[in-house]
Amino acid sequence: MSAVGLPLWRQHGYALWQLSKPRVVALIVFCAVIGMFLASPGVPDAAVVAPATLGIALVAGAAAMVNCLVERGVDVRMRRTAWRATATGEVGARETLLAALAVGGMGLALLLACCNALTAWLTLGTFVGYAIVYTLLLKPNTPQNIVIGGASGAMPPVLGWVAVNGEIDAFALVLFLIIYTWTPPHFWALALYRRDDYARAGLPMLPVTHGQRYTTLSIVLYGFLLTAVTLLPVALGEAGAIYLGAVLLLDGRLLFLAVRLHRQYADTLARRLFAWSIWYLTWLFAALLLDHYYLIPLS
């Protein structure tokens, strides 16, 4: 969809919408909502689910806007991001910052008013972790940026969980650990076929600093680690046969692509792995949800 031909205010509104990274936010919200349902033995109260979903989405969108604002000088040097309104100058820094503060503030107020204080504080911490710690401190300074900064991206199911029951327990931490372990191979696959972009922008992504071979090996090793982590719900008795069958298929496909990429690298394979990793996480959480309501014991 293009904003060309729309009134100026609508063009700016559309540009800000794009800066909020709606596709990324959609995956964040999906994982958060799954966390809400997994936290409840039945169907969670819609009076909590609706405002929690909207509040988390608003704060996530605000964090993305701040990320685009901070990285506008980097984005203009990368083909993947040069189109962003903050990079082209279509939307100014002040306008972006005010929009992010307004949207994020509304989201936090909604979480505080309709859910609980812990959800609001954890969501604020996630915002700071991504928009400030990862974007300003980690991404431009260390090739382990996504490993350390991945903690913020792994929070959505925990936020959803806490919104429903007001506390964190062991299974919520397992959900966090799944996304945290998934994040590096997911992002490194993107960084591999975009390595020239990152090199031109001066960002120390792993393929730029350590090379292609080291990165593909890291993806394989993280793939095996992810396989182990994704079996934890079964080991803890929180998931049964439906989830186990699904996750074995998902992990098998992920490992197959990772090993193939390491043995015979090609940008097309890196793209395929990146695309699969998104579907992987989506289907894994969908399997967890299905198993939650139709648990088939393993014994």
Q: Got the DSSP string for the chain?
A: ---TTS-HHHHHHHHHHHHT-HHHHHHHHHHHHHHHHHTSSSPPPHHHHHHHHHHHHHHHHHHHHHHHHHTHHHHTT-TTTTTSHHHHTSS-HHHHHHHHHHHHHHHHHHHHHHT-HHHHHHHHHHHHIIIIIIIIIITTT-TTHHHHHHHHHT-HHHHHHHHHHSS--HHHHHHHHHHHHHHHHHHHHHHHHTHHHHHHHT---HHHHT-HHHHHHHHHHHHHHHHHHHTHHHHTTS--HHHHHHHHHHHHHHHHHHHHHHHS--HHHHHHHHHHHHHHHHHHHHHHHHHHHS-----
**Cβ(145)–Cβ(139) below 8 Å:** yes
What is the per-residue pLDDT for 263? 97
Q: Going by C-beta distance under 8 Å and a sequence separation of 6 or more, which residues neighbour residue 90? A: 11, 12, 15
CATH class of the structural domain 7-168: mainly alpha
| Rounded-to-integer distance, Cα 113 and Cα 125, Å | 18
Give 8-14 contacts, CB < 8 A, sequence gap 24+.
11/90, 12/85, 12/90, 12/91, 12/95
Tell me how far apart the 2 most distant CA atoms of the chain are, in Å.
63
Q: Going by C-beta distance under 8 Å and a sequence separation of 6 or more, which residues neighbour residue 288? A: 34, 38, 175, 233, 239, 243
**Cβ(249)–Cβ(227) below 8 Å:** no
Sign of the Cα torsion 242, 176, 209, 139 reads: positive
| Rounded-to-integer distance, Cα 212 and Cα 191, Å | 10
What pTM did the predictor assign?
A: 0.93
What is the per-residue pLDDT for 80? 86
Q: In the numeric block, which tokens belong to residue 263? A: 């043995």
What is the per-residue pLDDT for 297? 64
pLDDT averaged per 10 residues, the chain (length 299)? 55 86 95 96 92 97 95 90 90 93 97 96 96 92 93 96 94 97 97 94 94 98 98 94 96 98 97 97 96 75
Q: Is 289 exposed, middle or buried (0-12, 13-18, 19+ CB in 10 A)?
A: middle
Lookup result for tokens 């701040």: 66
What is the per-residue pLDDT for 41? 87
CATH 1.10.357.140 range(s) for the chain read 7-168
What is the per-residue pLDDT for 1? 44
CA angle, residues 202, 205, 206, in degrees to nearest 5: 140
CATH 1.20.120 range(s) for the chain read 170-299
CATH class of the structural domain 170-299: mainly alpha
What is the per-residue pLDDT for 2? 47
Please give the single-letter amino acid code of residue 165: N
Q: Going by C-beta distance under 8 Å and a sequence separation of 6 or more, which residues neighbour residue 102? A: none
Q: CA nearest 109: which of 48, 59, 37? A: 59
